[in-house]
Amino acid sequence: MSQYLIASDLDNTLLNAEHRVDALTRDTLRTLSARGHVIALASGRHYHDIAAIRRQLDIPAWIISSNGAHVHDAEDGVVSDTLVPTALVRALVDLPRPASVRLNLYTRDRWLIDAEAPELLPLHAMTGFTYQVDEMDDLDNEHVGKVLYIGEPALLKPLELILRERHGEALHITYSAANSLEIMQRGVNKATALSRALKALDLPTGRALAFGDNFNDVEMLTLAGHAYVVSNAHPAVIDQLPHATTIGAHHESAVAHALREFFALE
């Protein structure tokens, strides 16, 4: 069979309910990688967070991190690196926000947060990657790929409206979950990252399979020749992707089952 690029979101898509890779998913990806197909882990997570998951999979996967701000090939070569300009990062840091909304910056090397948020730690327990509390008053030497606000959806919506009004033409604004409002440089999304990977591999979009569940996956799923949404996806995402195939839920190893069917694995 011809070589394919298989790109999958992680949380609520490839990972199970405990935010871990189950045995069937691990074995399926290892088998496909051994057969020459390219795996890309495409997530809003930080590069170092995803790299830890790749080590557990023990496959030479590409990494699309911070919703496409950074793209690394299987040998950790930097394919693309698109940062939010420092002036815009400062504007986002200075934007008034409710006290319960946590401001986060993903730099090339670190995850910075404005206050302790222990409720976020279980999501990253498998990787051990964690935040550093920072006052964010010195940003000149930081290299920020993504800014995110984490909080109750009702508190994030007014922030989103302000951001779109003030910076909508300069930034890409999306959600990776109902409680996670994410901001990257304009033009940064998982689709542009996937396009760069396909170009580097000399593969057409028809040889790309993509899996996702939320708004930050829509562009990638629109681009891929074979698009799949998990049944636990946001309903509006499913509605936006009538060409995509809806599969089972993430906690049912749905991505693995879909791949095994597509590639006729025993």
Residues carrying an active site annotation: 9
What 8-state DSSP symbol labels residue 228?
Answer: E
- Report the alpha-carbon distance of residue 132 to residue 151 in Å, rounded: 18
Question: Cβ-count burial of 52 within 10 angstroms (0-12 exposed, 13-18 middle, 19+ buried)?
Answer: middle
SS3 248: coil
- Report the alpha-carbon distance of residue 46 to residue 194 in Å, rounded: 17
Helix/strand/coil percentages in the chain, nearest 5: 40, 25, 35
- Report the alpha-carbon distance of residue 217 to residue 76 in Å, rounded: 23
Give the DSSP letter string of 106-167. EESS-EEESS--GGGGGGGTTT----EE------TT--EEEEEEES-HHHHHHHHHHHHHHH
| Parallel, antiparallel or unpaired: strands 132-133 and 5-8 | unpaired
The answer to whether residues 73 and 62 touch, using CB atoms and an 8 Å cutoff, is yes
Question: Any residues with CB less than 8 A from the CB of 266 and at least 6 apart, and which?
Answer: none
Q: How many residues in total does the chain contain?
A: 266
Element holding 23 (H helix, E strand): helix 23-34
